[in-house]
Copies of this chain bind each other. A is one copy, B any other.
Amino acid sequence: MTLVQFNGFKFVEGGVTAPKGFKAAGLHCGIRASKSKKDLALLAAAKPVPTAAVYTQNRVKGAPIEVTRRHLANGYAQAVVANSGIANTCCADGVEKAEEMCRLAAETLDIREEDMVVASTGVIGQPLPMEPIEEGMPALAGALRADGGHDFAQAIMTTDTVCKELAVEFMVGESVVRIAGCAKGSGMIHPNMATMLCFLTTDAAIAPSLLQLALSRVVADTFNMVSVDGDTSTNDTCCIMASGEAGNPQIAAQDEDFETFVNGLYAALMNLSRMIAADGEGATRLMECIVTGAETVGQAKAVAKSVICSSLVKAAVFGADANWGRVLCAIGYAPVETDVLRVEMSFASEAGSVLVCKDGMGVPFSEEKAKEVLLKDEVKILLDLHSGEESAVAWGCDLTYDYVKINGDYRS
């Protein structure tokens, strides 16, 4: 899909190895049955570098999260090891296995175990087989390359149909800085903290605490505004490593350079959010709800999320049916006060825009034109609450037969 511009920042080719200072690899080690599916991924910096992360808010947490959280307590990491196929969650020996994954990778890379980030994604409750990981590790480490980002991104995919990666380039002072990332996630997507798995790299020099602040701020407006199915996963992890090799003076305060970095991160995560929503399980179209005229950002966010989470709105978008009453209904049950008699609503896409509701009541519109608008791959629901100056965006997708098919028998 086309990347959306932000702040004039430039997108460049590549994924997590686009910024200086990172090597990556991905291969099939045997966790997944199909040999054509990569299932083990490695990302490494030359030394321990500032690393920040956010995690799922589900009370049921994957074992890898416990280990990663402990390892990142000092704000530094050197490498990431991740697998797809099995989530290593709700198993009695999950933490031991996550630690073992770190130990295997660290030994092979000859780095400290405590400098490892570990992540798993896939089926919950099934035991993670360690043999394929142990046997595959030397080949994986040997495959680390400065252009290995795409292999890494492929190895963390599960039901994803599209590999989601990007890199953005911008100036911090006199230095060219890149932020790049890859994400996976297609079902069980309703992040409260991060999406399922997202690994980001940057060559910017930035203090660990500010890297964490930037990540938390931007995730709140991007991944936390995505929902595919309302199910908050147990394993969501979003992690960013900063190699510092861009040569900029270290970002050490909330100054102009920091704001530029935050904007660059927003450009990256906003587009990854769109990619995740558009590739939602079974989805045929991206649904973007843009709320303006809200009294507070909280109100704008609550309304936007309520709309994109509504099964009835999602099914109507699948059917390209301009059933705006369902959108108003979803505004009405959002957990926030809204004066529905002020709401103005339009459906929009590259085919144009159709006003369907004003002052909370229907207005005459061409069903034919609305259908044309809603049949496009990317559909916008525009809501002006006429109650203030704040705004928010949320991303979702339509609800389709294929969502049901994919999830009716995922484990077999």
Contact = CB atoms under 8 A, between A and B. Distances in A.
B311 A230 contact: yes
5 contacts: A91-B361, A233-B329, A234-B325, A316-B410, A401-B401
A234 B412 contact: no
B312 A58 contact: no
Interface stretch (A36-44, A242-250, A331-339): A331-339
Interface stretch (A123-131, A161-169, A254-262, A376-384): A123-131
A159 to B, nearest CB: 12
Contacts of A61: 332
A410 B323 contact: yes
Contacts of A87: 325
Interface string A85-99: 001011110000000
Interface residues on A, range: 35 or more
A319 B362 contact: no
A102 to B, nearest CB: 22
A409 B310 CA distance: 15
A226 interface: no
A135 interface: no
Interface string A316-333: 101101011110111111
Given A231-B326, A324-B125, A332 B403 contact: no
Contact of A230 (B58, B91, B126, B230): B230
Top 3 A-B pairs, shortest CB-CB distance: A124-B325, A319-B408, A60-B332
A315 interface: yes
A271 interface: no
Given A319-B407, A323-B410, A91 B311 contact: no
Interface string A178-197: 00000000011010100000
A277 interface: no
Interface in A28-81: 57-61
Nearest to A93: B361
A87 B399 CA distance: 24
A357 interface: yes
